[in-house]
Structure 1
Amino acid sequence: MSTKTRETQLSDAFVKLADTLVDDFDVVDLLHWLVEECTEILDTQAGGLLLVDQAGLLQLVASTSEEAELVEIFQLAAGDGPCLDCFRTGEAVTVGDLEAESHRWPKFSAEALRLGFRSVHATPLRLRSQIIGTMNLFSHHVGALAPTDIAVAQALANVATIGILQERNIRTSQVLSEQLQHALDSRILIEQAKGVIAATTGMSMSEAFSAMREYARNRNLPLRQVADGVIDRRVQVGRPALK
């Protein structure tokens, strides 16, 4: 947990989000940053972010840990869970005790509990009636997010959604669909590049992603471009700097 006060964290998050959306931004990097920031500010242990693809199906685009990635992928495969309910209804879904409410989503709950998660909160990425995905926060302890925390998660998700929907003056659903699909395709390349870095350097997958993102930011490059370079062996990424 950061030593900053919660108020400072929130202020910094909204300032950084606003600054990011001013310029031509990397959607994938933005979504990773969003879920990481919310996980820290709201004192949860993991998070994942799902976007809708051109077929209208949710796909994983960002996660803070391997455990979060696994539980999100399992939920998508099962076709049922709080994050999917959130997407279908456009309303936040909070589950303070997954074990006690396991009857609602038996398969998802069993997998989440196996991975150590005891509660979950799902926030829609929504602008009015348009829903483009969900952000999901997982905790190792029992207890629902407080109403103020739910409002914070929704506010950050709303600002990010507005930025995504307005990027390059998007006016048609076809252009939006293509852009979101581009973000999802970028994630596939990034996952492949993470594997290459991990295999050649001995880093963990998490360290490999941090190193790749640091490389991209230091050179003002899109993550997808760096991932392409790693896969083609044109780019060599070292260990991320210690913070």
Structure 2
Amino acid sequence: MTMENLAETFVELADTLVADFDPVEFMHLLTDRCVTTLEVDAAGILLVDHHGELQVVGASTDRARLLELFELQHHQGPCMECYLTSAPVTVASFTEPPQRWPQFSSVARDAGFGALHALPMRLREQTIGALNLFSIAEGALSERTLRVAQAMADVATIGLLQAQVISRRELLAVQLQNALQSRVLIEQAKGVLAERLQLDMSRAFETMRRYSRSHNLYLSKVAEGVIAGEVDLTALAAREAADPPARRSPS
């Protein structure tokens, strides 16, 4: 692991974060860079979904992906423990006793791996998954390598959480803009109804509300129809004549 390679890795990860963010592509990029930068033989990523269940979202090799899936299916293993405890877990050998996860260790040996390091993907009190590093040779990674690996996991965590925040903000902004646009349409439609049916504004609003409910339509769609002339105002006028004003909520 050279300083030049390390610098290029973090620059590439940061560049991905400011570009159009694709979480899946970013996770695969992270696993690939773990292999080339940290000199491990494979890497995988587990992330928790909105149901609180861990999922495999990235792996540099099929062997690593299958090993991660085996762990999730059996609900135990070093990677899952790393996520649950928010603490690093090191298995320096899958052959030397004692083995805390004998089934997992056996499958890992069969896959050709001799050691594993699981690092939490955590930002302060929130843990969203684990970054898992697989080595063919037995033995623990150096402290320096593990610090770099944790830094890479931290960058990924910040990127994913920031993307979620931006996504929520954008969704909220879209919802707010739609609400504002709908309100403008409704006000315009109220004016149309008030003028054509000789109603006050409150009565015009209630007329549209009853129409939207009886036809199972959004109020904004009814307003669009009134403005576009697609709603039968004659029928509305007849209904208003047959339905005298009552106590109504203000528009």
TM-score by length of 1: 0.66
Question: How do 1:1-243 residues align onto structure 2 when only pairs under 5 Å count?
Answer: 6-101=2-97, 103-167=99-163, 169-170=165-166
SS in 1 for 2:139: coil
Larger relative contact order (CA 8 Å, sep ≥ 6)? 1
Equivalent residues of 1:117, 1:140 under 8 A apart = yes
Equivalent residues of 1:96, 1:119 under 8 A apart = yes
SS in 1 for 2:56: strand
SS in 1 for 2:94: coil
Equivalent residues of 2:9, 2:37 under 8 A apart = no
SS in 1 for 2:155: helix
Partners of 1:117 and 1:103 lie apart in 2 by 15
Distance 1:101 1:63, change over 3 A: farther
Partners of 2:116 and 2:97 lie apart in 1 by 11
How big is the shift at 1:96?
A: 1.0
SS in 1 for 2:140: coil
Amino acid across the alignment from 2:56: L
Amino acid across the alignment from 1:90: S
Equivalent residues of 1:53, 1:59 under 8 A apart = yes
Runs of 4+ in 1 over 2 A off after TM superposition: 168-172
% identity of equivalent residues: 46
SS in 2 for 1:70: helix
1:25-49 deviation per Cα after TM superposition (whole angstroms, max 9, x unaligned)? 1110001010110122111111111
Amino acid across the alignment from 2:162: Q
CA RMSD in angstroms, aligned pairs only: 1.7
Amino acid across the alignment from 2:158: I
Distance 1:50 1:148, change over 3 A: same
Partners of 2:66 and 2:90 lie apart in 1 by 20
Amino acid across the alignment from 1:25: F
Equivalent residues of 1:122, 1:134 under 8 A apart = yes
Distance 1:119 1:168, change over 3 A: closer
2:249 corresponds to which residue? none
1:53-92 deviation per Cα after TM superposition (whole angstroms, max 9, x unaligned)? 1221111111111111111111111111110110001111
Structure 1: gaps (5+ residues): 176-243
How big is the shift at 1:23?
A: 2.5
TM-score by length of 2: 0.64
Count of aligned pairs between the two proteins:
169
1:217-242 deviation per Cα after TM superposition (whole angstroms, max 9, x unaligned)? xxxxxxxxxxxxxxxxxxxxxxxxxx
SS in 1 for 2:44: strand
Structure 2: gaps (5+ residues): 172-251
Equivalent residues of 1:98, 1:109 under 8 A apart = yes
